[in-house]
Structure 1
């Protein structure tokens, strides 16, 4: 049988590759010299092309643990001593949690739940849209609720109602906006769906305005998630950072002020430089709660604080201030202890399926193959089996080529 040049070239290349495999394997398995960085290359890349550096590992279960979680590096500032039952400090851009205490502890959120209400309802109506309030829309407001002064029969722009929500924490404005979006129960369901979509698993919505209700809880983690999501929305950011506004009352209007003292500097609480806002809250059951965002140079932080146990009614602001100061000082000097970004479960399932065994890798469909290409080369037993299969196939090709070559000469 005649061996064509093309076949001879392919089989000769296979022989060369097969003969080189043991040496390559031995080289990869050889330990590095003491103190020398480990060499890594992409599968199929030249030895001179290094792999990108691995990212630091973040234990996804770390924030589920009780107590304070922080991973300081050399030169990191010490955490302030705060009395809040739960708190989170996170980078708003990356979602990295820099430190936290009992991040997933379920606690009543009070009016900080209005952050989730805004995330859910804000996109549904234009700011300039006008709405005339009916009596039914103002029923069921909890006793002792904070109010902005919405009146039956008055017509308001949607932007006026949102000023009432963010500045005065007006439960009356929340009731009207909820009625405009399907009603109280429908809004509760929509908010619950929004929370899950954002990866907030601790929040259970019963009363969209944050008023104390049996079973209604959130967490410092979820509040930080809502705050971070809000800062990505220009409308949300504009409302939550507004210090003062005029609220209409028929033929006249009156001024309203944001109740977030870190933003306004009211009641003897010093304004925080670079504060963006977000939302404060208080009920007798929840105590004082707060989620704030602040910007310093190129960094924006989100801090949530739930129910300080000491220091009086304004302690929530001072503890948030201390945590913000720490977060800015700790930039680049702590390893993250978690993330506000929701986990991508389908991606992880694909990755596990692809890397479980070589047989799974061979039989995987297009979705699994796409996931495989996005991951680093597997090591150990799952990587060794495909290499052995390649070696066996090349060995068979070499044997066939040799048999054909020398068999043809013998004839």
Structure 2
């Protein structure tokens, strides 16, 4: 049996695993980007998440539509809170000024949560530089810590890669790997073990991306997509369309590169968008699979293709020596590099609630620490859901249809900042409301337009009031 390629440890090696480890999104918009060098048969697990209906309150709905009407008719562009551009290296402390996309409080350094009677306290001993707990369907941010801090993402950036490229090739399409497909892979990258001159299906390649975090699989798919530079441009355009303004893509695989950053908030947006896609859900929830190895020929016999087993590097999905499989877990993606530390975004369901948790770079360097802190935040989130007042919201894609808008979430303007003050627990962003001092005629026009939009928009929201995650595959836990 062909053994998996196991490179020597280096700064970009996916670490902390056992030795055997391995659309609602809008169409892409072309933006300038820069390129850079990178980072079977499935066994899907049966089961689906329930679709949770989170009704929007009448008062909130009216305020949201009123704000949208005022901005639309008046032509006043809300002022965006400009986040600082990525620097050359991560800092030891979060910047004082961060993006306010999704709510003003998300741009404030430190932990943001609305504790009140009946709301459980946050877990003690969390050491991650950044984390966020969100309701995957309503988009509510239940709690966060430096949510918009721009940090190296490691292989969690592969979620954006998959969300961008996965829809472009049918899963049964076959591709013969040529040497140029594997050019430019970073030293010490995590690999699934792709061989030159062998043929793989797109399905095989995505299993290599999700289960083994294979940078070789990423580069082959990038070659099919027109090359690494083109794929980087496509990813950046898709990130921009998702309003992921903290993200700057340099390598499609998340390999450490200067000026490559994302944030816990943006990684959660990528996961949420990807989970709208059936194949994405299947791959990120697959625990283990058979992967094609080398083709061998014995004597005059017919050549045969060996296979070997690969297992998901997500330890909350596959388990580890001191980490239990998390009940209700369904993915999504982990990463680990020298610059990024350990990073992870996970999705899990319990009691009809679907939560997304992203954790970046725990300062406590114990084995599987990123998974342990994620599990603690999941536990807190499931207890707090429905009790805690949100501190922000996950914005919808710029080109999303009304049916894709999260229930109870503020309507997002072009900058991603929530309009008005309907976002519970968040302060209004400067410039979000219409400015006073206009003429009486303009005020009358605004009032009329607002009334009409409230009536029309109310009818729309009665039907389109959630962003469901249909048939989300997960690993059900038996008692």
- With normalisation by structure 2, the TM-score equals 0.64
Distance 1:350 1:145, change over 3 A: closer
What residue number does 1:320 align with? 374
- Equivalent position of 2:13 in the other structure: none
1:53 aligns with 59
SS of the residue 1:214 aligns to:
coil
Kindly indicate whether residue 218 of structure 2 is the aligned counterpart of residue 164 of structure 1: no
- Pairs aligned (count): 323
What do the CA deviations read for 1:100-159 (whole angstroms, capped 9, x no partner)? 000000100000000000000000000111111110010100001000011111110000
Please state how far the C-alpha of 1:363 moved relative to its aligned partner.
5.8
Compute the displacement of 1:213 (Å): 0.2
Which residue of the other structure, out of 225, 245, 263, is the alignment partner of 1:201?
A: 245
Of the candidates 128, 131, 141, which is equivalent to residue 97 of structure 1?
A: 141
Q: Would the aligned equivalents of 1:354 and 1:361 in 2 still touch at CA under 8 Å? A: no
Partner of 2:324: 270
Say what the alpha-carbon RMSD is for the aligned residues.
2.5
For 2:437 and 2:375, how far apart are their aligned partners in 1? 46
Instruction: Pick one of 328, 340, 344 that aligns with 2:394.
Output: 340
Matched residue of 2:321: which SS? helix
CA distance, structure 1, for counterparts of residue 364 and residue 58 of structure 2: 48
| CA shift in 2, pair 1:184/1:355, >3 Å | farther
Q: List runs of 5+ in structure 1 lacking aligned partners.
A: 1-50, 377-411
Which position in structure 2 is the counterpart of 1:359? 441
Does structure 2 conserve the Cα–Cα contact (< 8 Å) formed by 1:261 and 1:267? no
Alpha carbons of structure 1 residues 236 and 355: separation in structure 2 relative to 1, 3 Å: farther
Question: Which of 172, 176, 184 matches 1:128?
Answer: 172
Q: Does residue 1:244 correspond to 2:244, yes or no? A: no
* 1:155 correspondence with 2:233: no
Q: Deviations over 1:155-177 (max 9, x none)?
A: 10000000000000000000000
1:76 matched to which residue of 2? 119
State the shift of 1:312 in Å.
1.3
Distance 1:122 1:74, change over 3 A: same
Q: Is the 8 A contact 1:203 1:218 kept in 2?
A: yes
**Alpha-carbon offset, residue 53 of structure 1:** 3.5
Which structure 2 residues correspond to residues 139-150 of structure 1 after superposition, within 5 A? 139-150=183-194
Contact in 2 for aligned 1:141/1:172 (Cα 8 Å): yes
| Maintained 8 Å contact 1:147/1:170 | yes
Give the match for residue 298 of structure 2: none
Could you tell me whether the CA contact under 8 Å between 1:212 and 1:285 is conserved in 2?
yes
User: Which secondary structure state, in structure 2, belongs to the residue aligned with residue 53 of structure 1?
Assistant: helix
* Equivalent residues in 2 for 1:382-401, closer than 5 Å: none
| 123 and 54 in structure 1: CA distance in 2 versus 1, 3 angstrom threshold | closer
Could you tell me whether the CA contact under 8 Å between 1:288 and 1:313 is conserved in 2? no
- Alignment gaps of 5+ in structure 2: 1-56, 65-99, 296-304, 397-411, 420-430, 456-479
Aligned counterpart in structure 1 of residue 357 of structure 2, from 303, 311, 314: 303
Distance 1:360 1:282, change over 3 A: same
Q: Alpha carbons of 1:189 and 1:354: their partners in 2 closer, same or farther (altered >3 Å)?
A: farther
- Which digits, 9 at most, give the CA deviation of each residue in 1:9-48, with x for residues without a partner? xxxxxxxxxxxxxxxxxxxxxxxxxxxxxxxxxxxxxxxx
TM-score (norm 1): 0.74
Q: Give the structure with the higher percent helix.
A: 1
Contact persistence 1:106–1:217 (CA under 8 A): yes
Shift of 1:272: 0.1
Residue 360 (structure 1) shift: 1.7
User: Quick check: 1:354–1:369 contact (8 Å CA) kept in 2?
Assistant: no
Distance 1:140 1:70, change over 3 A: same
Question: 1:313-362 CA deviation, whole Å, 9 max, x = no partner?
Answer: 31000000000000000011111111112422399699738995532245
Partner of 2:107: 64
Which has the higher mean CA deviation after the structures are superposed, 66-75 or 85-94? 66-75
Q: Which residue of 1 aligns with 2:400?
A: none
